[in-house]
Amino acid sequence: MRTLLNKHFQTRALLLLLGLALLLFPRIADACAIGPKPTVLDAYKRADVVIIARAISVEKVDDQSPTPFSGSRVLSTTMEVQKVFKGTLRAGDKMTFGQGDGIYCTWIFYEDDIGKEYLFYLETPPKGSALWYEFGFWRSGLISRVADDLLYLNNIEAVRGKTRVSGTVDPGEDERDVAGKKIWIMTRYKAYETTTDKNGVYEFYDLPPGRYVLEPELPAGWKIDRATRGTTTITDRKRQILTRHIVFTLEPKKHAAIDISFVLDNVVSGSVVDAHGKPLPEVEVSLKPTDAGNDSVNFGSTDEKGRFAIESIEPGTYVLVLNEDGEKRIEEPFPAVYYPNVTEESRARVFRIRAGDSIKGLKIIVPNVEEMVTVQGVVRFADGTPAPKDDSAIHPGERAGYRRPCFGRHGCEGTILIQDFQRPAG
- Give residue limits of the domains in the chain: 2-145, 161-264, 267-366, 371-426
Superfamily of domain 267-366: Transthyretin/hydroxyisourate hydrolase domain (2.60.40.180)
Note the pLDDT tens digit of each residue in 15-33.
444 444 433 333 333 335 4
pLDDT value at residue 8 = 40
Q: Terminal CA-to-CA distance of the chain, rounded, Å?
A: 56
In this predicted structure, what is the pLDDT of residue 375?
58
Instruction: Identify the CATH number of the domain defined by range 161-264.
Output: 2.60.40.10
Give the pLDDT confidence score for residue 326 in this predicted structure: 79
- Is pTM beyond 0.75? Reply is no
| Residue whose C-alpha is closest to residue 49's, from 153, 157, 201, 160 | 153
Residue pair 22/125 in contact (Cβ under 8 Å)? The answer is no
- SS3 assignment, position 33: helix
Q: Do domains 2-145 and 161-264 have the same CATH topology?
A: no
* Confidence (pLDDT) at 30: 34
Q: How far apart are CA 420 and CA 396, in angstroms?
A: 10
Question: Selecting from 1.10.3470, 3.90.105, 2.40.50, 2.60.120, what CATH number does the domain 2-145 have?
Answer: 2.40.50
- pLDDT for residue 141: 93
Please return the burial class of 149, using the count of CB atoms within 10 Å of its CB with bins 0-12, 13-18 and 19+: buried
Q: Which residues of the chain are under the pLDDT cut of 70?
A: 1-35, 102-104, 136-137, 172-176, 229, 368-377, 381-382, 387-426
